[in-house]
Structure 1
Amino acid sequence: MLNLILFGPPGAGKGTQSEKIIAKYNLIHLSTGDLLRSEIQAGTELGLRAKTLMDQGLLVPDEVVIGMIDHKLKDHRDAAGFIFDGFPRTVKQSEALDELLASYDESISVMVALVVDDNELLARLLNRGKTSGRPDDQNEELISKRIHEYNSKTKPVADYYKAQGKFTAIDGIGEIESIFAGISKAISAVKVN
């Protein structure tokens, strides 16, 4: 089973590349945002708990998100693998994900990080903001804050997977197809469980 974390700051091209990875490798997309919305819509116990917290403006705790990922893993035991999007965001979440996967005799196969410099990210997000309708893509100050948040809190997750020998950095600047070729090369180098 191929279990891949697609990693990178906002605007690095994760959405574009994840679609291509899913299509080529037949992976199940695990987006924590999508998981939260579907569990809430389904009215599950975890979904109701998450909704209560979100309605109060609070973050959904790691154990709730891990529970939702566990549901998805159980529902897709015969999958070719999973692509994790938006999770893990902290070392603590990485450890919890590793523990959960180990309970299924699985592990993360590779973390592919799209590397894009901050100035390019800013330009991409401002450009995306012209068509996305997302207010957080239209405000330079908010974009800079999101990039800083990623660099200070999320980047240590890369070090966690580097220590396991599962980290590969890919230059996220260039043609979409050449970036995807680099990702595919990194995936083909992985020994899948």
Structure 2
Amino acid sequence: MRIVLVGPPGAGKGTQAKIIAGRLAIPAISTGDIFRANVGAGTPLGLEAKGYMDKGLLVPDSITIGMVRDRLADPDVAGGFLLDGFPRNVAQAEELESILVGLGTKLDVVLELVVDNDEVVKRIAGRRLCRNDSTHIFHVDFQQPKVPGVCDVCGGELYQRDDDKEETVRERLAVYERETAPIVGFYAEHGLLSTIDAMGSLDEVTERALAALADR
């Protein structure tokens, strides 16, 4: 099965992508993973992308699309894939369609994770990371540390990233609505869209997504 996963920041795309892909035995492919692989391997596209990133500039669509094209040509995606983080706009959606035509295949479904903006703000703005190890993550509501402001694992100080502050989260949501949300209409017109309520527990959202896939 060939799936695209879309939704606003804080909707749980990364987590759901791994779970759903695992259940379906297909690779979960994120643009972040693709970028890291290309930059780490020093591929021509990776070096080109690094040049932009080192200058604090956005990587052009042409480079991102090239990396996605190369990744989708790999043998492990012959039986399907789940794309997370691509496409981000209608132009990229059209390019993805072209890439898949060139590979002799097409998308099966686009899963849209839908979550209330206030819930997104609550999820992201409540996160606290350990200064010693950013993989130690807590939450002021959902996963409180035993001692306020102190990491349970190593005793490090917990802090809120600037990107997680409410005003920043709301700006990210505005950017999503402006740039990425239009692809929802694009895929709805193509009859590929399945909308998933992303409110509730992790398992509940996963089961809703799998049920939607079973209907395809």
How far is the alpha carbon of 1:144 from its aligned partner?
0.6
Paired residues, what number?
A: 189
C-alpha separation in 1, matches of 2:54 and 2:167? 26
Distance 1:136 1:183 in 2: 31
Percent of residue pairs bearing the same amino acid type: 39
User: Secondary structure in 2 aligned to 1:59?
Assistant: coil
**Structure 1 position 146 matched with structure 2 position 172:** yes
Instruction: State the partner residue of 1:50.
Output: 49
Q: How does 1:13-92 map to 2 (within 5 A)?
A: 13-76=12-75, 79-92=78-91
* CA displacement at 1:138 relative to structure 2: 2.9
Q: Report the equivalent of 1:159.
A: 185
Larger Rg: 2
Q: Deviations over 1:23-60 (max 9, x none)?
A: 10011121111111110110111101111111122211
Match of 1:187 in 2: 213
Task: Determine if contact 2:10/2:123 at 8 Å carries over to the other structure.
Answer: yes
Deviation at 1:128, TM superposition (A): 2.7
For residue 167 of structure 2, give the secondary structure of its aligned residue in structure 1.
helix
Deviation at 1:127, TM superposition (A): 2.1
Distance 1:26 1:20 in 2: 10
Distance 1:121 1:52, change over 3 A: same
Closer/same/farther in 2, CA of residues 68 and 122 from structure 1, 3 Å limit: same
Higher helix content, 1 or 2: 1
Corresponding residue for residue 107 of structure 1: 106
For the pair 1:176 / 2:175, whether they are aligned, the reply is no
Match of 2:121 in 1: 122
CA deviations 1:44-78 (Å, max 9, x no partner) are: 11101111111122211122111111221222256
Deviations 1:65-106 (A, max 9, x none): 111112212222563211111110100000001100110111
Structure 1 distance, partners of 2:200, 2:70, is: 37
**1: CA distance between counterparts of 2:174 and 2:161?**
18
SS in 2 for 1:30: strand
The 8 Å contact of residues 111 and 161 in structure 1, kept in 2 or not, is answered as yes
Change (3 A) 1:179 1:114: same
Q: Secondary structure at the match of 1:92?
A: helix
Higher relative contact order (CA closer than 8 Å, sequence separation 6+): 1
| Contact 2:26–2:77, Cα closer than 8 Å, also in 1 | no
Give me the TM-score of the superposition, normalised by structure 2.
0.82
Match of 1:4 in 2: 3
Three-state SS of the structure 2 residue aligned to 1:80 is: coil
**CA root-mean-square deviation:** 1.6
Gap regions ≥5 residues in structure 1: none
Higher mean C-alpha displacement, 123-132 vs 110-119: 123-132
Aligned residue identity for 2:49: A
Cα 1:181/1:100, change in 2 over 3 Å: same
Give the stretch that moved more between structures: 164-173 or 19-28: 19-28
**Worse-superposed segment, 73-82 or 102-111:** 73-82
